[in-house]
Amino acid sequence: MPQLPPKSTSADTKKNVANSSRPSTSRESPPAPSVETELRFARLLSEINRKLSTGIDFRRVLDFVFESLHIIIPYDRIAIALIEGDAENPQVCARWIRSKIPAGHLDSGYCAPLKGTSLQKIIESDQPRVINDLIQYARENPQSISTHLIIQDGIRSSLTCPLRANDRAVGLVFFSSQLPHTYRDEHIHLYQAIAAELSVIVEQGRLRHAFEAAKSKSQNLRMVLHDLKSPLSLIQGFLEVTNTEPWFDDLSQDAKNIIEILQRNANYMSELLNELSMLSQLEARTDHVGIREISLAEFISEVAIDARQVADKKEISFTITTHPGLPEKVWLDPSLIRRVIDNLVTNAVKFSQRGTKIHATFRARNGRLIFEISDQGPGIPQNELASLFHEFGKTSVRPTEGESSTGLGLAIAKRIIEQHSGEISVESQVGKGSTFSFWVPLQKDRPLH
């Protein structure tokens, strides 16, 4: 909970800004608030935190603040503006305003550039600003459009405080009054505690909004994927049937080529949809019901059989080594880890020439099960390695026989390994091949994400 700053011990550091029309950004320590004010503020903070803990919408919490904070500082209007846009062209946008008087000229949704303004100076100094005569300030700063707008709304003095969350500036809070000379040192003195609490409210609202948006996006994606799979399966079915129809042999070679192209692309689209669906499920997954104790020897045997079948189709030699010290049992989700290994084996085969070798190893070290797979492929440029584990993170290296690649397999593998509290990585040298490896904890009691 934010605490009020300690009482000043130096009387000559006080600075009265009440009669100034110019902004004040004094860092000097004003008089400490009264015991009664501290108690009121403590009770207010306690109620705010209680409301936040119950999951009430942040705008309702802000409404409560507006209706209650007058016991600490005077105001006729409170506005919160957030920093939005990119780093090159940041904007300050009013996202919440409550007022006791009409506020039709500067209302919620108003945005203005941040760079080069007095608001930027407030954020950079992390200090409040008091303007006790806005009409005089507007005369001295005729370029300030927002000042002229709030004057038209009847505002005559203001206290502006920066908002920070996670050690970064997120916006500003504006306390405004119809009367000039409203804000004094005692109001500046309380800004740190008030602004800190408002920052918590605003940041929680932003996080909740981001979570809801991500949840909605994930749900929409799953619906779209489901809707696409049915017609695509129908198309694939018809294309497969054409090869068995009596009239197929009577088609021209050009027509047969077209059907082959359609089949190839339909199969690629089906693979892509399946990968997207898998990635969406992994992103939405919050439990680990698939993680269980399994026989490691049986698991490795199944991996080896499937891997050799994939490699044999391209006349590639696949060998596997199990190092001494492997435990009999391990804790993992066998279907998901198999998917990771299958993906790494398939990639190694795709990017290897016929007649080359692929070698895989299993070992146990420092409480970890480690898997490595090395190929003799073309290798990957160092500056492209970082993109491999991102969605659609393809490189300039292409499969040796034109095999398809969705660019999602390694992103899925990374997500699966992270859900097992492990890590996946790659080492590669152009002209000599690549080695992909991952590790997962051997024991069930290790933390799971």
Tallying the residues shown for the chain, one arrives at 449
Distances (CA, A) of 372 to 226, 365, 381, 423, 424: 35, 13, 20, 12, 10
Say what the pLDDT of residue 399 is: 87
Which DSSP string do the residues of 45-76 spell out, in sequence order? Answer: HHHHHHHHHTT--HHHHHHHHHHHGGGTS--S
Say what the pLDDT of residue 9 is: 36
Beta strands in 297-411 (DSSP E): 317-322, 329-332, 357-365, 368-374
Burial degree of 76 (CB within 10 A; 0-12, 13-18, 19+) = buried
Say what the pLDDT of residue 193 is: 66
- Highest CATH level, class, for 11-205: alpha beta
Element (H, E) at 78: strand 77-84
Say what the pLDDT of residue 378 is: 92
Nearest to 341 by CA among 436, 236, 431, 199: 436
Q: Are 240 and 266 a contacting pair, CB within 8 Å?
A: no
Buried b (16+ CB within 10 A) or exposed e, 263-295: beebeebbebbebbbbbbebeeeeebeebeebe
Q: Which residues contact 132 (CB under 8 A, 6 or more apart)?
A: 17, 18, 19, 20, 21, 157, 180, 181, 182, 183
Say what the pLDDT of residue 157 is: 93
- In three-state secondary structure terms, 376 is coil
| N-to-C CA span, the chain | 29
Say what the pLDDT of residue 53 is: 62
Domain boundary assignment for the chain: 11-205, 288-449
Q: Which residues contact 141 (CB under 8 A, 6 or more apart)?
A: 118, 147
Query: 288-449: what fold?
Result: Heat Shock Protein 90 (3.30.565)
Buried b (16+ CB within 10 A) or exposed e, 120-139: bebbeeebbbbbbbbeebbe
For the chain, 449 residues long, give each residue's pLDDT as a single digit of tens.
444 444 333 333 333 333 344 444 443 444 455 667 667 777 777 776 676 666 666 677 788 878 888 877 888 998 888 888 887 889 989 888 888 988 778 888 889 899 989 999 988 988 888 899 999 999 999 988 889 999 999 999 998 888 887 778 888 889 899 999 988 766 566 666 677 667 766 766 565 555 555 555 556 666 666 667 677 777 778 778 887 888 888 888 888 888 888 887 777 677 777 777 777 667 665 555 578 899 999 999 999 999 999 999 999 999 999 999 999 999 998 988 998 999 999 999 999 999 999 999 999 999 999 999 999 999 999 888 888 888 777 778 888 888 877 778 888 889 889 888 899 999 999 989 999 999 999 876 544 44
